Amino acid sequence: MPTIGSDAPPRVHVTFALPPGAAAELAGTGLQIDSAGEGDGDARSELLAGVSGASGIISTVTDRIDAEVMDAAGPGLRVIANFGVGYDNIDVAAARERGVIVTNTPGVLDNATADVAFALLLATARRIVESDRFVRAGTPWTWESDFFVGLDVSAGATLGIVGLGRIGMAVARRAAAFDMTILATGSRAASAEAGALGVRQVELPELLASSDVVSLHCPLTPETRHLIGAEELRAMKANAILINTARGPIVDELALVEALTDGVIGAAGLDVYEWEPAVSAGLLNLPNVVTVPHIGSAGRATRERMGSLAVRNAAAVLAGEEPLNPVG
Ligand code: 8YV
């Protein structure tokens, strides 16, 4: 462990296995690296032990980086570089108090995440997973005019984008190509690009009442926790579809199970869960739910770009330079 005043390069603790190219990039920085290696991230005690004496932490969504972790790292901690655009896993205020810079990886995962949001939209609207299960079960079938009918996405269905930021805009581009009517909340909904895509800026109540598909793209903050609860679900159309590729706790998951079970809304496509990686048992028994395990950004090149950004952010701060993507 380097001591204060020693010439040893600063040490970076990486809580998970970086994609190979990003790992090579980190190795090339000359920083000392210690990595938790394979696996989904550190167990809490391993995390607390692993960060001890580190100048930098490269963390991910599964790591709760709070004051306890920062204090376990010690006064030499200078940067927490999160692998991901969302950073609700990090106590940014505690970092600020300790003079620790927090960074994220915006921009590089917009298309990958929008692709998964749209895949969930199409899969739920056209009942793709339900049909797949039906065929695999060997159920005898003949063609009928109402066989697995679903929502016509490209015939003027309305998409409501909650939180039109970078990822929401990438979803809007896809929706425009499908001739969807697009409503959105968020400051960028009034931007020139949104206007060119035909996006109409509305308040949440109008979006919920008018959309055939509601897709969530806002960050998780105290204000957006349970933004979609029983009341909001009741405000949606009876056949409406909810897509969540943002953060699980934005939706009251138990209220969602109830709404889907009682036919308050039509279907849900979910990449994220309130108690991730746990998924409410009620969701798993419903035919009108498509579930994937937080794979929004899981494109090979995307993950490399995220890793590279996290590495460059950490290296910049430890070299006394401005990071590319500071937050908070
Ligand atoms: C990542 C994400 O998979 O960027 C985010 O905020 O949720 C996902 O793209 C996750 O953060 C991995 O750390």
Per-residue pLDDT of the chain (328 residues; tens, 9 = 90+): 444 556 789 999 999 999 999 999 999 999 999 987 554 555 899 999 999 999 999 999 999 999 999 999 999 999 999 999 999 999 999 999 999 999 999 999 999 999 999 999 999 999 999 999 999 999 999 999 999 999 999 988 999 999 999 999 999 999 999 999 999 999 899 999 999 999 999 999 999 999 999 999 999 999 999 999 999 999 999 999 999 999 999 999 999 999 999 999 999 999 999 999 999 999 999 999 999 999 999 999 999 999 999 999 999 999 999 999 999 8
- Strand 213-216 and strand 199-201: the pairing is unpaired
* Active site (annotated) includes residue 188: no
- Pick the atom of ligand 1 nearest to 83's CA: 13
Q: Give domain status of residue 274, yes or no.
A: yes
| Residue 38 domain boundaries | 11-108+300-327
Tell which residue, 3, 2, 22, has the closest CA to residue 314.
22
Q: Are residues 304 and 276 located together in one domain of the fold? A: no
Same domain, 246 and 134: yes
Residue 171 lies in a domain: yes
Residue 3 is assigned to a structural domain of this protein: no
224 Cα to the center of ligand 1, angstroms:
18
- Could you tell me if 220 and 258 lie in one domain? yes
Distance 208 CA to ligand 1 centre (A): 26
pLDDT of amino acid 187: 84
Contact between 293 and 277 under an 8 Å Cβ cutoff? The reply is yes
Q: What's the pLDDT score for residue 2? A: 46
Residues 134, 222 within the same domain = yes
Specify if 64 maps to a domain. yes
Q: Report CA(15)–ligand 1 centroid distance (Å).
A: 14
Q: In what order do the strands lie in the sheet with 79-83?
A: 32-35, 11-14, 56-60, 79-83, 101-103
Domain co-membership, 115 together with 230: yes
In terms of Cβ atoms closer than 10 Å to its own Cβ (0-12, 13-18, 19+), residue 282 is middle
Same domain, residue pair 168 and 275: yes
Instruction: Examine the domain organization and report whether 175 and 139 are in the same domain.
Output: yes
Structural domain includes residue 1: no
276 labelled catalytic: yes
* 2 domain residue, yes or no: no
Tokens of residue 236, six digits: 């949606």
| CATH number of the domain enclosing 59 | 3.40.50.720
One domain for residues 245 and 280: yes
pLDDT in tens, 113-165: 999 999 999 999 999 999 999 999 999 999 999 999 999 999 889 999 999 99
Exactly one of 78, 247, 303, 305 is catalytic; name it.
247
> Do both 165 and 268 map to the same domain?
yes
272 and 126 in one domain?
Answer: yes
Domain count across the chain: 2
What predicted TM-score, i.e. pTM, was given to this entire model? 0.95
Same domain, 279 and 202: yes
Let me know if residue 55 belongs to a domain: yes
Report the distance separating Cα 26 and Cα 320, nearest Å.
Answer: 17
User: Do residues 76 and 126 both lie within one domain?
Assistant: no
Given 78, 174, 294, 303, the catalytic residue: 294
- 21 within a domain of the structure (yes/no): yes
Give the atom of ligand 1 at the shortest distance from the alpha carbon of 61: 13
Tell me whether residue 294 is one of the annotated catalytic residues: yes
Question: Residue of the nearest CA to atom 3 in ligand 1?
Answer: 297
